[in-house]
Every structure is written in structure tokens, then in C-alpha cells.
Amino acid sequence: MLKTCIQCSITFTKRTDSPGIFCSKSCNAKYHNARRIKKVKPTVECLHCKTVILPPNKFCGHSCSASYNNKLRSHTLLPKLCPQCNTKFISKTKFCSRRCGYDNKKKNYSIEYQRAMNRETYKRYIARRKYQTPVGEDIKAIQQFYLKCPKGYEIDHVIPISKGGAHSLENLQYLTKEENRRKSNKIL
């Protein structure tokens, strides 16, 4: 039986098992796609490069977003000098780079301060490995105790960590270097 395709007007023979108003699947798809109601979204322009994009986006990509935001920042912030290297830069930070910030921080701490903090950190590490740091211990107070150590003295644990003593403020004392070497890890 001959039929005419309603999409392309070609005559074709109808198979007995198909309804037969289209000559092929592609004509069927074209017909239904043309009839389908399409929702048209309003378009907006990229704030940086003015290309057409779909909302809710404001930028067409990450590079446009970064360029636009950097341009805004440069207009709102005034250039300033880095206190470490004296170069001009525009940012909300105090230093022009992380390296300058680190170098300035390192310069501000004396060698004695760094040594005291290293000693305290090491002792806290050893005590933590042996589960001998009490829960809720004030670490800042212990660090201050290490920082206030007089010249010629060392910090000693009254009950050594190796003998089960805790790394706490109550277990610390100042001893001269000779006394500390003599005491070693004994309990007096």
C-alpha cells in the first residue's frame, strides 16, 4: 500500500506493522522537533568581554571573571610599598608576596626565641608519642615558661618524660646546665 510522507511528501510503501505516516525515522524526528515548543532563555552579556551567555552566569569563563575582578581591585586600592622589599604593589595584604611575609616574620624572631620554641615543640612531640601530655594543658603557658628561661639555665622535667612524667607546667623547672647533665633522667 502506497502512502505519502507528511514531512517530505515522498511516496513510500507502508509496512503492515507500522502506522506509516513518515517515510523514515529522520522525517519523524524532524517533524516532531519542528512542532515541539522550545523555551527561549533570555541572554545576557559577559561583564568583561561582552560575549552573549545564558543567565545566571555573569562571565563566560574563569579567565574573564579573574580579569574583571582584578581590574576592579586595581581601581579601588591604592599602590603601597612592601615593608620587606620596598616594591610597589596593589593588594589588601601587608606584604607583596608570601615570601616577603615569611622573611619579615623570621627576621622579627630572635635566634633565642626560635631555639626555645624548637625545644618546647620537640619535648611536646616526645610526650605526645608516649601519651604523657595532659588533656587541656595550656601550651601557651608552657611556651612562655620556655621563653623566660634565664641565660645559663635549661628547662628540666622534674619527673622525666622517659620515666612517665607529664609535659605540663607543674612538672617543669629551671636547672643550670651542669645540674641538668648530672640529673640526666633520674628522679630526685
Given a cut of 80, whether residue 142 has pLDDT beyond it is yes
* Side chain identity at residue 39, one-letter code: K
Q: Which residues contact 59 (CB under 8 A, 6 or more apart)?
A: 46, 47, 48, 53, 65, 68
Q: Over the stretch 19-69, which tens digit does the pLDDT of each residue have?
A: 677 888 888 877 777 666 555 567 788 888 888 887 778 888 888 888 888
Q: What is the mean pLDDT of residues 127-148?
A: 86
Determine what percent of the chain is predicted with pLDDT higher than 70: 87
| Best CA proximity match to 188, nearest among 154, 155, 158, 161 | 158
* The predicted structure's pLDDT at residue 103: 80
CA 41 – CA 80 distance, rounded (Å): 46
For residue 3, the surrounding DSSP H or E stretch is strand 2-4
Q: What is the pLDDT of residue 98?
A: 84
The answer to pTM > 0.75 is no
When pLDDT is averaged across residues 132-142 and rounded to a whole number, the result is: 86
Does position 173 have pLDDT exceeding 90, yes or no?
Answer: yes
Average pLDDT of the chain? 82
Where exactly are the structural domains of the chain?
43-76, 77-108, 111-183
